[in-house]
Structure 1
């Protein structure tokens, strides 16, 4: 039985066997500086509480340490008081004794395993003398009680040990179950990786492990894979793309329409490549759920790396194909190589050239995410590839240096989703959604029916794109018809005569600028752009109007005719336009012009 019950039973047996009215069993506290009533018979709870708190029985020096119970404990001998009213050492407990109604008492030491442990106190309501035989019986009873207390304590420790062992066994059982479930998670998701089941396989495996629908999206929110559970399907959450959605840990996000969502990042070399979405709250996911999602994110990253590697191989093959195609030499193997990659070059294609817009001249190599030029064209290439992935017939998407080139099938049956110009708009919108404020411009070149046409079409489209960006254009879909005379100049197959003409007209000005650093050509360009207004030209160049006037006079002297003559003005404008066009469509000429 529990120790408190046993101590009450010891007190009861002492009373019934010895004919006492009241009895208490006192044990030393943990610090062994006081005795506490732990079991009793006949005593009121109020008495027990007052003795234990208001009149504690001390084991040290002082009035409260001189009572019969303290002496019995310290001396190991019984302490009997025939009349407590005349005993000075009992005075601190006289009031509570009167309230309880006893006159005589005896305190017998209790030993447990040979060590003083407390005292057995017996009380009589009448005056009573405790003789030697009675004390011997009480000592025997106290010894038996000590054995019972020791046994009870051993059994309590035994029960505690058993409870600890049961708890440990339950914990080991739980850990074994968790290890089994964790091993199942590892096996299922590893199987996805070994089977190359793709992102869709990761979503299906996680849905089975977590018993809930799963959605995996790219960073822009486009679905990459999803799995239903019991007919429930998770739609793309309607939440703001906040900092939390780009966190490197599991995060809980509110969704006012579909309840809370758990989002886990899928990282590849520190780059966010996807997100895993689950319905519910993080607190309900549990440790195994956390582990499953984290493991799933790792496998999803591997699958996306596998896909990226495959795409890079495919892009390299496409790049080699485009390189041969744009060389202008129509090889008989080009068609078969294109068919191997899923493209039919016997069908007419329009040439689209895409390039990131720059905010400042000469910022090549800057980061596309800042709105300038990409340090890695692969990201832009991936966006364009994703935007055109569902188009049939399939466009050929690859890159040429810092340009992304799309050969867009010209479907005469009009079953295609978009014409080339609309495709340019679609690509620009896709880049804007993915890269926030960053923009690209797209040039739509000619439709090519013969393999030998692609080199010229690309050259013209590239020149149109760079010319548009040079003149401050951003986020535009450029067609040759929009460029006017510039567009006509870009389409010249043999520009050599124009090159000689531009050199002949501008050579005197360029030579003078080289000797004097006078900025005559820059002044002439600005003067024409400002509609021949000297004041506005001076403001644009941040110089005094008199300086502009002197420069214009020097220009007229070098040209040999005044700019007020229409023929001279036309010649200068044609030369500058030719330089603009040929400096970007024919890079070797731009290098020669310096």
Structure 2
């Protein structure tokens, strides 16, 4: 009968253990599961207390307690190393410990509190050892031999606790996602988002402190981003230097079991920061804390990136709006004023840097910079002259450690000028590029305005010259009006000069007629800027596709004209186009009718310079001697016939041959018929010269030793020079 009763009690306890195990699996939270465990044991076994004790930081800590034996409960926590190791290995009873009571602080405590009967059950599974469950009676109770059943029950409880912890973690994840979605918005200020994140991290892991460090590429360090959760005791900067192993800067990187923990915040495989927590209020940071922080860091990375993109877009929109307003102000400036001072001043404010505007000849028009920086302008101009044809616009002034960007200002393919802007770095972002383009466009508008005025002025000059340089001047009143427009005293003596620009072979190669004219126009522009503008009294214009100057006669022949011609040549070289520039100067004028005659004299002088005086480059009509008499010959037919009789046979014979008999004859006559001197000047042997002279006499049927023959030939050569060619 006693045996049957015993079996009945065993089955009853087994059923209770199985029922408790099944019920624990259904419970969602660890706290509820442990409380249910202690309450069910106490109610079913009529014990005096039930406690569930876990291991935390090398201490036994009661998680739940049911009963009134406060002497035992209040003594916790106990050090693990002061208690029996068997508590975590298998079930124990007061009978099994026997004489080992004094070796374990817990056993001694139970004995001292008057607990007559007790047993413990380890709560563990294959992976985790959580602690033990302890059941006690103040009176003697005969314990049955159920150690095996209790051990299996402990394993079931451990599995149930693991499951509840996993469920809690999933719930925390869901709650975390919901919290992030609800509380973190890209519209919220950045500091507010940081505060929400660190608060959630601190409270979720029961830490006293939480903060975020974001990586700064420029300074190569992690920088603390306020605000933090809790008191800030960590360093505000974590310098990387040359050590990029993150774990060496944050020792508890994704590591549990310590009093701090760090989780990287990554975006596109790049670490953009870390989430850092410290000083857990109880215990150490565990796997569940790691999971919470990982969840937060993943969403932080996405939100921070979205916030960054959103803020960048918002900032770019505001910048573009600001640029639009600035552009409108600059356009108004172009309407109000003709110059560039106001425009460049506003651009200096926009860039917050020094700005220099050059014309297309690299002359500084205006600038905005500190007074001590004005010394940079000559060097900047010199460096820009060298590099303006290069693709890279950056100019580094090595002497002054300054970097400028030189940008051409164009309109319809025409170069108008250059804009120089000092840059803080060698790279321009998209916003900088937009500002540069806007500045170039505004300057282009102003240049075009000035060009329109200049073109109108040039057209007026052409009209004026076309009325003045005619053989019979008719509309005196109109001419005087034009003269007043240019503030030019028409009745003072002047000289008319004509200029020729001849492109060299390397410039002509591959160029059509229009391209050749364009090159000549560039040279002419340089001449007007760098030679003519030095003397305001000179009127420069184009007339019938010829380049013309009207210069006050008071400009001395020996003092002014050599320097003026030198300035013209230097301006031509400065243009970068290889060419020969020659100048013919007419006689002085006394009245309106003399300007036509002076222009014709200049034309004849230019023809003679092209034929005889290329080395000198310029000549005055009145210095040409007999050429001035020949200039008065009006009968072209008679002149043509004379040239044909005197030099025609030689020209026809020389065509297609290497022997230029006309040139040989000219040199021979210039050397007064001296065969030796002529041969030396022509670089030929004397016998060869004698052969050529015989050929010339044969073709002309004349004796070169005859003075009359020589005079006629010299006259023919002068007419030839006057005409520039034979008809």
Give 2:5's aligned residue: none
Alignment of 1:184 with 2:325, yes or no, is: yes
Residues 174-253 of structure 1: matches in 2 within 5 Å?
Answer: 174-195=315-336, 197-228=338-369, 233=374, 235-238=377-380, 239-241=382-384, 244-247=387-390, 250-253=393-396
TM-score, with length taken from structure 2: 0.56
Instruction: Report the aligned-residue RMSD.
Output: 4.7
8 Å contact kept, 2:493–2:552: yes
Spell out the pairing of 1:464-479 with structure 2 (5 A cutoff): 464-471=605-612, 473=614, 476-479=617-620
CA offset digits 1:148-205 (Å, max 9, x no partner): 3123334554252654554344334322332233323432333344446444443223
Q: CA contact under 8 A between 2:507 and 2:577: conserved in structure 1?
A: no
Q: Which residue of 1 aligns with 2:627?
A: 489
**Secondary structure, counterpart of 2:125 in structure 1:** strand
The reply to whether residue 510 of structure 1 matches residue 648 of structure 2 is: yes
Q: What is the rounded CA distance, in whole Å, between the counterparts of 1:502 and 1:194 in structure 2? A: 60
C-alpha distance in 2 between matches for 1:189 and 1:439: 43
**For 2:459 and 2:448, how far apart are their aligned partners in 1?**
16
The aligned runs of 1:525-540 (5 Å cut-off) are 525-528=666-669, 532=673
Identify the residue that residue 340 of structure 1 maps to in structure 2. 485
- In the TM superposition, 1:94-493 aligns within 5 A as 106-107=124-125, 122=130, 131-154=151-174, 157=177, 158=180, 159=296, 160=299, 162-164=303-305, 166-195=307-336, 197-228=338-369, 233=374, 235-238=377-380, 239-241=382-384, 244-247=387-390, 250-257=393-400, 259-283=402-426, 286-331=429-474, 332=476, 333-359=478-504, 374-387=517-530, 390=533, 393-410=536-553, 419-435=560-576, 438-471=579-612, 473=614, 476-480=617-621, 484-485=624-625, 488-490=626-628
CA contact (8 A) 2:54 2:131 kept: no
Structure 2 residues not aligned, in runs of 5+: 1-28, 35-50, 59-78, 81-87, 92-121, 133-146, 181-295
**What is the CA-CA distance between 1:507 and the residue it aligns to?**
0.6
Q: Quote the Cα distance in structure 1 between the aligned partners of 2:624 and 2:398.
A: 51
SS at match of 1:303: helix
The aligned counterpart of 1:552 is 693
CA distance in 1, matches of 2:489, 2:174: 89
Q: Measured at CA, do residues 388 and 361 of structure 1 come closer, stay the same or move farther in structure 2, by a change above 3 Å? A: closer
Contact 1:264 1:294 in 2 (8 A): no
Distance 1:107-1:339 versus aligned 2 partners, 3 A rule: farther
Deviation at 1:257, TM superposition (A): 4.0
Residues 552-578 of structure 1: CA deviation (Å, up to 9, x unaligned): 335435656421234432331122112
- Please, which moves more after superposition, 316-325 or 230-239? 230-239
Q: 1:280: how far off?
A: 3.8
Q: Following the alignment from structure 2 to structure 1, what is the Cα–Cα distance between the partners of residues 373 and 646?
A: 77
Structure showing greater radius of gyration is: 2
* 1:88 alignment counterpart: none
Q: Report how far residue 209 of structure 1 moved.
A: 0.8
Q: How does 1:43-122 map to 2 (within 5 A)?
A: 106-107=124-125, 122=130
Q: For the structure 1 residues 407 and 196, does the alpha-carbon distance in structure 2 shift closer, same or farther, using more than 3 Å as the test?
A: same
1:447-496, CA deviations, whole angstroms, 9 ceiling, x for partnerless residues?
A: 32311111121122222223223336157343346x543xx414655213
Kindly indicate whether the alpha-carbon contact (under 8 Å) linking 2:585 and 2:602 is maintained by their aligned counterparts in 1. Answer: yes
Question: Pick from 562, 566, 569: which aligns with 2:710?
Answer: 569
Q: Secondary structure at the match of 2:402?
A: coil
List per-residue Cα deviations over 1:102-124 (Å, max 9, x = no partner): xx98337xxxxxxxxxx755479
Q: Secondary structure at the match of 1:256?
A: coil
Residue pair 2:585, 2:618 contacting (<8 A) in 1 also: yes
Checking the alignment, whether the CA contact within 8 Å between 2:340 and 2:366 is kept in structure 1 is: yes
**Which of 574, 578, 581 matches 2:719?**
578
**Secondary structure at 1:346's aligned position in 2?**
coil
Unaligned runs of 5+ in 1: 1-8, 24-41, 44-79, 84-103, 109-118, 585-589
1:220-242 deviation line (CA, Å, top 9, x unaligned):
32122323458864623344356
| Secondary structure at the counterpart of residue 378 of structure 2 | coil
Matched residue count: 483
With normalisation by structure 1, the TM-score equals: 0.67
Partner SS for 1:215:
strand
Judging changes above 3 Å, is the alpha-carbon distance between structure 1 residues 562 and 147 closer, same or farther for their aligned structure 2 residues? Answer: same
Aligned with 1:171: secondary structure? Answer: helix
Aligned equivalents of 1:140, 1:10: Cα separation in 2: 9
Which structure has more relative contact order (CA 8 Å, sep 6+)? It is 1
Q: 1:21 and 1:313 mapped to 2: Cα distance?
A: 95
CA distance in 2, matches of 1:279, 1:510: 67
Does the Cα contact within 8 Å between 1:502 and 1:575 map onto a contact in 2?
A: no
Structure 1 residue 276, shift from structure 2 partner = 1.3
Give 1:336 deviation, angstroms.
Answer: 1.3
Rate the CA distance shift 1:272–1:446 in 2: closer, same or farther, 3 A.
Answer: same
Contact 1:443/1:479 (<8 A) preserved: yes
SS in 2 for 1:451: coil
